[in-house]
Structure 1
Amino acid sequence: MQIDLIKGHGSGNDFLLIDEITNSYSFSEDERAELATLLCDRNSELGADGILFIMKSNRADGRMRVFNTDGSEASMCGNGLRLVARYICEMRGLSVAVIETMKADLKVSKQADIYPNVTTYQVEISPVSFRLGDLPLNLNEPNLINENIPELSQELTFSALAVPNPHLISIVETEQLTSGVQKEISEKVNNPNELFPDGVNVSFVKSLDEESIYVNTFERGVGFTNACGTAMSASSLVTCLQGINNVDEIINVYNNGGKVQCVVHENDENYYIDLIGNATYLYQAKVEVEWGLKTFEVSSKESFAEQQTYEKLQAEAQAFLKIAGL
């Protein structure tokens, strides 16, 4: 079977985009999972953090489904949504659109470049829930905001929320970022355990200068990643709850893949977050997949020139983090 795809990234979080709107592809659920594990393998010619299936929607401008490298489906992906937003908007000639995701229909829009000549989109991150049952997290309390979980650490405090992906967030200092404790905790809660039966994304967050934070994320189903859009959004919200940053103000969020901006909004004690960042295309390719053999071959690949410009943003972000001691 021949499949056309585009590889792109948001903050270095890279994905393969497969268009099911203009192509007549028909995948079973098993085939979607198999494609994700096959094509996203980092030892293959492609490799990625996941596949974004772009589909028709009966109620929105398009639909996004996200499959991780392990074949599991994610309910949301903020960095991936920016890529889907770009694809849908360019395909339909729109500057504002609505994308159907697993949990909600989300507004997306083309924005002024976050860095000169870096294609930029804003996407809505919602719904937000602090109910532990929505993660799920098995603790005998309704929510967890800046509290201890003794089973995980005697020193760190955590906040738990679903956006709608489940996130466990801790505000830390530099020495805790480099200590290896994040890896230890992340592996514990993403292997069989009583606290998080479905696993959870784990982020360590360091406050930098005014209105700037650094977020490092272990992503459920992926591992440590350059960036996780929903994690950066959830982390921004947590810093607002703790008085580090302010609602309705731009927060510069640095990550290992670059930089995005988040704006937290509150409406009658309900929150949503605007995530603003790059939607960069790397190349387009044609792939021949042999289902029975579980193999594939790249028959053609054509690169875009966008990455060179993005690397300037990335270098500037890395220089800022170096000054901050990270």
Structure 2
Amino acid sequence: MIPFTKMQGNGNDFIVLDNMSGQYTAEFLSKAAVAFCRRRQSLGADGVLVAETSSDADFTMRLFNADGSEGEMCGNGARCIARYAFEKNIAGRTQRFSTLAGIMEAEVDSPFVDLRMGTVSLNGGWFNRPLTVAGETFPASFLRVGVPHAVLFCEAEPPRERMVQVGRELRHDRNLFPDGANVNFVFGDGEATIRSVTYERGVEDLTDSCGTGSTASAICRLLRNGRPSRPGAVVDVINPGGVNTVTLSFGQDGMTVEASLKGRTVIVAEGFLTEESE
């Protein structure tokens, strides 16, 4: 019997496990993610979040995707595990935690969590290029926000099956993205409010929300007209599962962005996973 907490951030849902005592190995967690994330056959989730000890922060966040791969970072997942750590007395309202993408800082005001994602480098990214995929050409950008993100701009929201087709093909284009990439479809004419739908690698489908995808979408939308003239901006990113508020502050060098992500978290259920669910 494995104790769990089920959480979601704007529809991006996770099974959260406490591994502060180190009882679960990485091999076990990878296999558990594949087994437990199956919808209709098990508990179902986009991924498994794991809280572990850290030598230089309050705790360590690990993310295992539904396909068993370990992810570097997930914005909505990070918000959820920050709320979890606060509720379980692992960390306080103000906290620092380790991820494979670096140290994250969070402020918990239940049910909301404001996640400071640190400095996003624009070096190594590319912006406002035409990109042809599945027979269609999109204005596109690419950058890393903890994980790699391709951002495709659309005049209107494409049909779901079309986004899955394009996302799946582009996500596996190793010539463009050696590590794979999440694919974000952005539509809407504004800068203060945009809409974004994300095809997530590891989940291998569209998700209701993506925190790092919302951040990447907001940055790339502001860069469509060149470097922003104002240093700071707040962008409400509407995902199918809810709104992520992204606050951005561009560095004077024009090549760095300080980013934070705020949104609601929900503790859905707590209980025990049984061997039959594996």
TM-score, length-scaled by structure 1: 0.77
Which protein shows a greater Rg? 1
Q: Following the alignment from structure 2 to structure 1, what is the Cα–Cα distance between the partners of residues 210 and 270?
A: 23
Structure showing the higher strand proportion among its residues: 2
Range with greater deviation from structure 2 (188-197 or 52-61): 188-197
Decide which moves more: 151-160 or 165-174. Answer: 151-160
Deviates more, 1:94-103 or 1:226-235: 94-103
Q: Percent of aligned pairs with the same residue? A: 29
| 2:28 aligned to which of 23, 26, 31 | 31
Name the counterpart of 1:148.
Answer: 130
Question: How far is the alpha carbon of 1:192 from its aligned partner?
Answer: 6.2
Contact 2:153 2:185 in 1 (8 A): yes
Q: Aligned runs of 1:170-249 on 2, under 5 Å? A: 170-174=152-156, 177-178=158-159, 180-191=161-172, 193-207=174-188, 209=190, 211-222=192-203, 223-243=205-225, 247-249=231-233
Letter in 2 for 1:189: L
Unaligned runs of 5+ in 2: none
Partner secondary structure for residue 242 of structure 1: helix
CA distance in structure 2 between the partners assigned to 1:247 and 1:26 by the alignment: 46
CA distance, structure 2, for counterparts of residue 179 and residue 56 of structure 1? 40
CA distance in 2, matches of 1:106, 1:191: 28
C-alpha distance after superposition, 1:69-94 (max 9, x if no partner)? 00011100000101111122231562
Moved more, 190-199 or 217-226: 190-199
1:283 is aligned to 2:264: no
State how far apart, in whole Å, the 1-side matches of 2:122 and 2:170 are: 18
> More deviation in 4-13 or 26-35?
26-35
Q: Which moved more, 1:263-272 or 1:227-236?
A: 263-272
Residue in structure 1 matched with residue 54 of structure 2 by the alignment: 57
Question: Partner letter of residue 271 of structure 2?
Answer: A
Residues 28/95 of structure 1: CA separation in 2 closer, same or farther (3 Å cut)? closer
Shift of 1:247: 5.0
Amino acid at match of 1:248: G
Q: Check if 1:129 corresponds to 2:128.
A: no
By relative contact order (CA 8 Å, sep 6+), the higher-ranking structure is: 2
Q: TM-score, normalised by structure 2?
A: 0.89
For residues 188-233 of structure 1, the C-alpha deviation after alignment (integer angstroms, 9 at most, x for no partner) is 1234643323321000111255611110110011111001110001
Task: Note the C-alpha offset of 1:180.
Answer: 4.7
Work out whether 1:9 is the aligned partner of 2:8.
yes
| CA distance in structure 2 between the partners assigned to 1:25 and 1:58 by the alignment | 14
Q: Does 1:46 align with 2:43?
A: yes
Give the count of matched residue pairs: 272
CA distance in 1 between counterparts of 2:26 and 2:91 reads 30
The alpha-carbon deviation at position 101 of structure 1 amounts to 0.7
- CA pair 73-126 structure 1, distance change in 2 beyond 3 A: farther
- TM-aligned CA distance change 1:149 to 1:35, over 3 Å: same
Query: Partner of 1:165 in structure 2?
Result: 147
Rounded Cα–Cα distance in structure 1 between residues aligned with 2:93 and 2:85: 10
The answer to whether the Cα contact below 8 Å between 1:126 and 1:164 also exists between their aligned partners in 2 is no
Alpha-carbon separation, structure 2, partners of 1:145 and 1:197 = 18
Counterparts of 1:83 and 1:151, CA distance in 2: 34
Question: What letter is aligned with 2:239?
Answer: N
Provide the C-alpha distance between the structure 1 equivalents of 2:135 and 2:250, rounded to a whole number of angstroms.
31
Gaps spanning 5+ residues in structure 1: where? 112-117, 133-142, 290-294, 298-326
Equivalent pair of 1:215/1:232 in contact (CA under 8 Å): yes
Q: Classify the secondary structure of the residue corresponding to 2:149.
A: strand
Distance 1:190 1:249, change over 3 A: closer
